[in-house]
Amino acid sequence: MTDANAQIQDTITTNDVVLFMKGTKEMPQCGFSSRVAGVLNFMGVDFNDVNVLADDAIRQGIKDFSDWPTIPQLYIKGEFVGGCDIITEMTLSGELDTMFDENGVSYDKAAADKIREANA
């Protein structure tokens, strides 16, 4: 296991919700990362952000680790959930709420409903 793989495994194991993204949750550096971080922030989810732009080994390592070619990547309780399009779809369908509920992740249900209402 490479150092990057070990670091990724440790990060997703020790944090309930992790977003590997370009930039940080306070200052995303791409539109896709901004969208996913924005959804999580709006829903009040406590998540760990990993800025892949700060470490080339992690930037490539996360793509190899998940066998998923794009960033951002969301993990919940160690499980890879998806990228921007998948998270957007799951938010709008309510699947993300269900996943949070099933994994004991705290979030603002009213905020999640507002996202769906705004996109109906």
The per-residue pLDDT for 120 is 86
Measured in whole angstroms, how far is the alpha carbon of residue 98 from the centre of its chain?
15
CATH fold for the domain made of 3-118:
Glutaredoxin (3.40.30)
pLDDT(63) > 80: yes
List beta partners, residue 54: none
Task: Look up the pTM and report it.
Answer: 0.96
pLDDT(1) > 70: no
Alpha carbon of 100 to those of 40, 43, 54, 104: distances in Å? Answer: 11, 11, 28, 6
State the pLDDT confidence band at 2, using cuts at 50, 70 and 90.
Answer: confident
The domain spans of the chain are 3-118
